[in-house]
Structure 1
Amino acid sequence: ERDHPGDSMTSLAFSYRLGLTTVSNSVHMVCATVVKLMMPRFLPIPSEETWKEVTKGFWDKWNFPNCLGAIDGKHVMIQAPPLSGSQYFNYKKTFSIVLLAVVDADYRFRIIQVGDYRRTS
């Protein structure tokens, strides 16, 4: 059976002959479980010592002092949630959530924030 990277919920439901609600609930359940079980191991909350190592990495590798990370964000297009009005409507005239990430000097993710709408500071 082939994978469906980036498929819509509707496409997955059709491909596997499942109801849209079943697919949606399953995807959300799997994602929540992955976050719950894997985040503490693979993306733990940075400690003070971790931040010191990150700062040292930016100095040693890039000669950039006192840097806690490189940050960037991306709008991820979504289907607007029911009753959300214009909350998730962005400047590109699409509905989206914001993915925000901070990486260290070796491009390893240190912080990830997903789910905010509009612009995030």
Structure 2
Amino acid sequence: MSLDPLELGVLSRQYLATGTNFTALHFEFLANIVRETCDVLWKVLKPLEMTETTTKDWLDIADGYYEKTQFPNTVGAVDGKHIRLECPKNSGSLYYNYKNFFSLILMAICDSNYCFRIIDVGSYSKESDCNFFKTSTFGKKLYSNKANFPSDRCLPGDENGVPQPFVLVADEAFALHKHLLRPFPGRT
């Protein structure tokens, strides 16, 4: 593997200017390779594996949920997961969560087949699931009614009733919204 002349220049200046040892420079160089590789993988695989969900896709997912759970107008289940990590340098308490460890948040929406449809990775864990979701790319679309959800439809067996919205199901950490259904708070 050959070094890009620009990268070699940066590493040489760091070594000469700071006295950083070769081991530290080695790890920084490897970190850059990993970061660039992940960027390339995301750019290549995202259009193939994580395509934008269309209105027809949402309807197919809702049919799958109804078939498996008899829960109508459900287009996904959303939740966040704390991924444990070592405290990043100079991050203070940004990654320190309420569970008393350092983590990143992985937020995902899954369809009726347990497949990821939408993901968002990397929020500071000091944020709650609800706040992270609201500020995520998909959350902003959802709260501004731009998520390509199908038009409201009547529930099965109530064709003359009031049309109901399509919803994501979530736990009590999320705020109630027209398109986000969560259980009543409390134990009773």
TM-score norm. by structure 1 comes to 0.77
Alignment partner of 2:107: what SS? strand
Q: Percent identity?
A: 38
Are 1:20 and 2:52 an aligned pair? no
Pick 1 or 2: higher relative contact order, CA cutoff 8 A, min separation 6.
1
The one-letter code matched in structure 2 to 1:54 is I
Distance 1:34 1:74 in 2: 23
Provide, for residues 66-93 of structure 1, a one-character-per-residue CA deviation record: whole Å limited to 9, x for no partner.
1111222211122333332211111122
2:60 maps to what in 1? 53
1:97 maps to what in 2? 104
1:116 maps to what in 2? 123
Query: Structure 1 residue 97: deviation in Å?
Result: 0.7
**Rg larger in 1 or in 2?**
2
Distance 1:120 1:19 in 2: 36
Deviates more, 1:85-94 or 1:73-82: 73-82
The one-letter code matched in structure 1 to 2:82 is H
Distance 2:33 2:101 in 1: 25
The one-letter code matched in structure 2 to 1:70 is A
Distance 1:59 1:69 in 2: 11
Alignment partner of 2:74: what SS? coil
| Count, aligned residues | 104
Query: Structure 1 residue 37: deviation in Å?
Result: 0.8
The one-letter code matched in structure 2 to 1:89 is Y
Q: Can you give the 5+ residue segments of structure 1 that lack an aligned partner in the other structure?
A: 1-17
2:72 maps to what in 1? 65
Superposition pairs for residues 28-43 of structure 1, below 5 Å? 28-43=35-50
| 8 Å contact kept, 2:79–2:129 | no
Distance 2:52 2:122 in 1: 18
Q: Can you give the 5+ residue segments of structure 2 that lack an aligned partner in the other structure?
A: 1-24, 131-188
1:76 maps to what in 2? 83
The one-letter code matched in structure 2 to 1:120 is D
TM-score norm. by structure 2 comes to 0.51
C-alpha root-mean-square deviation of aligned residues, in Å? 1.6
